[in-house]
Amino acid sequence: MIEDESAAMVPTSDDLIRIDDQLAEQGVPVFNRPFEAAKLWGIVCGNEWEIALAREGWFKDAYKELHPSIDFTADSFLTLCVSARGISYFVKPPMGYGRCAIKPIDHVSISNNEISRLWNDHPESFWELQWQGFDAIDLFMAMLNFHPKLPSASNMMRTAVSQLTASARQLVACELDSSLPQGMSMSCELAGKAILIAQGFSAQRLRSIGHNLETIHNEVSAILPSPVDHDVTKAINQIPAYVKVRYEAPLLNLLEAQNLYSRAMFVIADFLRRTNHSQGYWDVSAGGKIPARKI
């Protein structure tokens, strides 16, 4: 196995296999095991977290030898995407989020040549990509800070965002199926209801609302208003009704699917923005320094 003499305690091949077996029994996904293995090794070293973090690179390399069939360089599955002119790009949110200095395009997996073409030949698509980038980053950061007292609210929001990331993988891979409209409608509904649960709505009151996304939004905005509520309403009007698409899913082409995803991400992001202390989208939309978004 890989040698490393930069610290006193170096895992052996047997150490790695033992730790991997433990993580496998716990059901830890293989992509997450290098980091989790480094944490476990820190415990072996006497809870020396500096040693554990320094070992993460060692474990990443070691896992490539332990499981050579796995591409550990692949993009994370828990990723959002943005789209422009029929192409979807993964977004990798920053670890920190400055209110003024953030540039969403810096965190989009798009080449400089593609950015230049959009800027020069398709400026409307370029700016829409920026707006989607703010949605993705705001959503990610607000999700990290969403800690409601009721576990059911957290679980419902995680389910909503998980559905969004699953659809992002479909779009980037250009492998669409008829589940996407239902998934987008459901994710918006669950995100809104998660906010309402966190605000004290009972299960009975939620049942009385049913699957009406416009009513859910009205209830949310009555408690936690947003400066872009008018645009949220416009986006919701472009998202199909959950009950209808559950039984009769529309056949979407790629552009239609991308538009539906971007509207759903905007709605979910704006539900979450209301619970967070920093909202990049609101700051930029109020500043007027970039062209207004066309919902």
- Going residue by residue through the chain, which has 295 residues, state the pLDDT in tens, using 9 for 90 and above: 444 444 447 788 898 899 999 999 998 878 778 888 888 888 877 766 566 666 677 888 888 888 888 766 655 545 899 999 999 999 987 655 444 466 888 889 899 999 999 999 999 999 999 999 999 999 988 988 899 999 999 999 999 999 999 999 889 888 888 888 999 999 999 999 999 999 999 989 999 998 999 999 999 999 999 999 999 999 999 999 888 888 888 888 899 999 999 999 999 999 999 999 878 899 999 888 889 999 9
Type of residue numbered 123 = P
Task: Determine the structural domain holding residue 130 and report its residue range.
Answer: 80-287
Sign of the dihedral defined by the CA atoms of residues 200, 206, 208, 209, in that order: positive
Q: Are residues 31 and 114 in the same domain?
A: no
**pTM attached to this predicted model:** 0.76
Instruction: List the end-to-end C-alpha distance of the chain, in Å, as a whole number.
Output: 54
Q: Are residues 189 and 277 in the same domain?
A: yes
Q: Within 10 Å of residue 148's Cβ, how many Cβ atoms?
A: 18
Q: Are residues 98 and 152 in the same domain?
A: yes
Number of domains composing the chain: 2
> Distance between CA atoms of 21 and 42, rounded to whole angstroms?
17
DSSP 241-274: PHHHHHHS-----HHHHHHHHHHHHHHHHHHHHT
Q: Are residues 104 and 167 in the same domain?
A: yes
